[in-house]
Amino acid sequence: TASYETIRVERKGRSALITLDHPKALNALNLQVMDEVVTAAEALDRDQGTGCIVLTGSDRAFAAGADIKEMRPQGYMDMYLSDWFSAWDRFAQVRTPTIAAVAGHALGGGCELAMMCDILLAADTAVFGQPEIRLGVIPGIGGSQRLTRAIGKAKAMDLCLTGRTMDADEAERAGLVSRIIPAADLLTEAVTVAETVAAMSAPVAMMAKEAVNRAFETTLTEGIRFERRLFHAVFATADQKEGMTAFTEKRPPVFTHR
Ligand code: CO8
């Protein structure tokens, strides 16, 4: 596998773990981190042996935002011509299901990166926020859009305009995270969830992900039509036959992932 300087990549059966490992700046997301995370995630996505990807940070920080020191001297033309941070869109385009396992700070770009993942698991130590306004800027990796879709206008405005943070409990109540896990168990639990997802039919899991994500892009009528087309399509898979046969034979299914 490729060698990375700011992340670690491990395989565990059909699931994979990407750990942000840039502790000096609390995993601040600079251009190198972006490049490495996107490269690693796309490589795992291309590998049909990968059924789920977990993205995590350290106990102290998932990521404390985009790298402020790297951004500080940039001008508009630098940002515009390099299309600063646009490569993160490629992480969001990964078709394999992704899980963010968040402990500690998930601020600014860190919160935005966690929100790009399909399942967001929070340690009880997790802290979320879009504090960019305190730096004289606004969210730039999708925060104003994904946070608003996830938790609604009231809290999204509150967080983006005051820069205040919210703890794991508030994040769960608001619907940003699906589960809160004691910090000591976060990674074990995240890997268990990943293994559960990775044991499903890979194409069917991709279709489920695609169908849910469509809800954010389209009308209800079109979304339901999209879902129905995919639903019909799963009947072309060996895994549909296996799943339904295993049920009637009262045994666990063994998916071949196609
Ligand atoms: N960027 C660069 N360095 C950082 C960042 C960051 N986002 N966050 C922390 N660090 C560094 C600190 O500077 C410090 O370095 P040093 O030891 O060299 O001084 C080290 O990490 C440890 O941090 P602290 O000493 O501050 O640790 P504390 O535990 O006291 O505080 C906090 C932790 C509360 C997380 C604090 O570090 C903090 O407030 N960090 C900044 C959080 C923030 O504002 N994040 C938003 C960044 S802006 C952003 O994400 C915008 C994205 C949009 C860009 C769009 C472009 C198109």
119-151: per-residue pLDDT in tens?
999 999 999 999 999 999 999 999 999 999 999
* Residue-wise pLDDT tens digits, 7-16: 999 999 999 9
Q: Is 141 helix (H, G, I), strand (E, B) or coil?
A: coil
Mean of pLDDT values over 197-224: 97
Is the pLDDT confidence value at 2 over 90? no
Interface predicted TM-score (ipTM): 0.95
* Predicted local distance difference test score (pLDDT) of residue 257: 79
Question: Residues with beta carbon inside 6 Å of ligand 1?
Answer: 25-26, 28, 64-69, 79, 84-85, 105, 107-109, 131-132, 135, 137, 139-141
72 Cβ neighbours under 8 A, 6+ residues apart = none
CA dihedral 8, 14, 47, 21 (to 10 degrees): -10
Select which of 51, 132, 171, 205 is catalytic. 132
Is the pLDDT confidence value at 166 over 90? yes
| H/E run at residue 105 | strand 105-107
Compute the distance from residue 168 Cα to the ligand 1 centre, in Å. 19
* C-alpha–C-alpha distance, residues 146 and 250, integer Å: 41
* Predicted local distance difference test score (pLDDT) of residue 1: 56
Please report the atom of ligand 1 found closest to the CA of residue 61.
Answer: 35
Neighbours of 241 (CB within 10 A): 13
